[in-house]
Structure 1
């Protein structure tokens, strides 16, 4: 059964910025390519069953994945109650203050009288120090009759959850990456607020490049597909190919090498996509195309002499058009590589991860990425 092996280290994607995972294409894509899905879930002890259960009940799909050991709730107090990690808590507090004061975040938050406080954050997820600071700045409130819950200004609540996911991924026992489908919150927690600060990374976009199950494909069918040994090996090979591609980009010393890496990867991705699509077809799984964006750490500073940075956008270094046929469709995919200026708070995180350290999934249309 998928997820039953407790001894292996799973590759886990930790969704942010909400407790609930998005239904539809994001869920199907993540389920296909990751061993395990996770989100930040406050838990409470149930005396009748002698077990912990979520404060907010799971949706039927997530309940099913939880029973199959493919979804894992990660309690916020894994970070908040860390012993001897005061430095990490201080870093979290400083980072959220800097983001809240940034111009990009201020543009999201309405003036005081027009603010909505609909983002309910369980008190177990928030330190008293941080809540008091947000309350003084008009971004959080205590609500009468809701003792276990705080009310955050909507954008502030999502920012807080996004940032918490990033820190929880760092300390998790598995190979865990933060992932989302919302570009704006990825930008807030990773992108440098200024061209005068931060460090350079690569922005790698796979546009319409990944075969994914269509939205009408059941979760059970995807799990059955992954249980088959032949299918599982094809997925592992494709995933390993993507990993190596990211590592090669991370090691690139100049633009020419980046282009060589892209050219060398072209055949690998075409073969991998073709094989996976055919295997899914044989299993009765109809496919669509998905998009993926990763932020990749760069080990060689010499790469940044090859192109300049443009404020608030990734300056393109290179892109590689790809063409392949999915049954019934002719699709053109592309891989685009650009500069991405990341905030200094992520420097140690990037070094520890080695290459990629953030994932942004979206299906088909790239407009919001």
Structure 2
């Protein structure tokens, strides 16, 4: 099954480091698009769409799925909770009016297309005066906080209802936490997950490397690329299947032992293909079905002390996130959320 990464929070994905990393390390790159034949893609996404690398995710697929009713109920509940909090705090629910002409590549937290709403929620938002000012292209101005609640829930359920091997992809921890937010109860064993930080180790194609060169490299040097990707995936799967802290530590040591040779082979393949690159960082969240005990006392709080392998760092720690009911059934045995941080000036701390 092809591995897909869903970019959040915008439709268009900037022509930069994140997109190049996604093209290199995933089979498909996606974002949430209002409708088919959407006319305002950037030239880069249009090109990748023609090659079959970029695949749009349409809300309509969710609206007609078995998750549709649960999705609508979740939206109403989350907005009701938000209204209750703002009322209790004595804050004013401010509505932010955006410029009507901001249509091209709109940020999803500013404008919302009516086709991203099922009819019942369109009426609900209209009755509560959260949306207004339709324009000829179907974009509505929407309360900024309500838009954030809606779009993160839409992304969450789009992943959950997908039959693909699909994961969330962001370029900031803040955007990742909008979907998989921190659990308020750190004693809740069900909220535990492993947080793998492979730091200053992930080759990031430089901005002057074309999409064509990346795709040609993937085709010609797929053995080296697949070995590199498989090494990371194996660590995630092993941690997912581990049934004790000791076994997690064993897989950690096993990964470190084989990482140096695997990464050096991959770096050499990139250099031989004249793909210039920097070393960037990757954070992966991995579910832990084993909940027999609180693992943070055995593995660490958020991130353990760094285990150094030459100039490279691997950190494995325990995080607490509300994620159990937000993962696609096709994506249960490995990483479910990825933060890719570009690096041009030495080590980046995540």
TM-score range relative to shorter protein? 0.7 to 0.9
Distance 1:346 1:199, change over 3 A: same
Alignment partner, residue 260 of structure 1: 250
Task: Report how far residue 88 of structure 1 moved.
Answer: 3.2
Distance 1:222 1:241, change over 3 A: same
**1:121 aligned residue (112, 118, 130):** 112
Task: Report how far residue 150 of structure 1 moved.
Answer: 2.1
Matching of residue 34 in structure 1 with residue 16 in structure 2 = no
The question of whether the paired residues in 1 share the 8 Å contact of 2:192 and 2:321 is answered with: yes
Q: How many residues align?
A: 333
Alignment partner, residue 314 of structure 2: 335
**1:89 aligned residue (54, 71, 74):** 71
**Alpha-carbon distance in structure 2 between the residues aligned to 1:102 and 1:202:** 33
Q: Mapping of 1:296-307 within 5 angstroms?
A: 296-305=286-295, 307=297
Alignment partner, residue 62 of structure 2: 79
Matching of residue 181 in structure 1 with residue 163 in structure 2 = no
Task: Report how far residue 184 of structure 1 moved.
Answer: 1.2
Matching of residue 203 in structure 1 with residue 195 in structure 2 = yes
**Alpha-carbon distance in structure 2 between the residues aligned to 1:279 and 1:99:** 52
**Alpha-carbon distance in structure 2 between the residues aligned to 1:232 and 1:162:** 34
**1:12 aligned residue (4, 28, 50):** 4
Distance 1:124 1:280, change over 3 A: same
Matched residue of 2:207: which SS? coil
Matching of residue 191 in structure 1 with residue 174 in structure 2 = no
The question of whether the paired residues in 2 share the 8 Å contact of 1:12 and 1:37 is answered with: yes
Task: Report how far residue 291 of structure 1 moved.
Answer: 1.3
Q: Give the TM-score of the pair, scaled to structure 2.
A: 0.83
Task: Report how far residue 265 of structure 1 moved.
Answer: 0.5
Q: Give the TM-score of the pair, scaled to structure 1.
A: 0.79
Alignment partner, residue 316 of structure 1: 303
**Alpha-carbon distance in structure 2 between the residues aligned to 1:308 and 1:97:** 38
Greater CA deviation, 186-195 or 205-214?
186-195
**2:204 aligned residue (199, 212, 232):** 212
Output the aligned Cα RMSD: 3.2
**Alpha-carbon distance in structure 1 between the residues aligned to 2:140 and 2:327:** 32
Task: Report how far residue 362 of structure 1 moved.
Answer: 1.2
**Alpha-carbon distance in structure 1 between the residues aligned to 2:219 and 2:71:** 40
Gaps of 5+ in 1: 1-8, 45-52, 324-331
Gaps of 5+ in 2: 100-109
Matched residue of 1:357: which SS? strand
Q: Mapping of 1:203-282 within 5 angstroms?
A: 203-228=195-220, 231-282=221-272
Q: Deviations over 1:53-87 (max 9, x none)?
A: 11x422111111111111111111111222x4444
Alignment partner, residue 51 of structure 2: 68
Alignment partner, residue 103 of structure 2: none
Matched residue of 2:271: which SS? helix
Task: Report how far residue 339 of structure 1 moved.
Answer: 1.7
Alignment partner, residue 159 of structure 2: 169
**Alpha-carbon distance in structure 2 between the residues aligned to 1:78 and 1:292:** 30
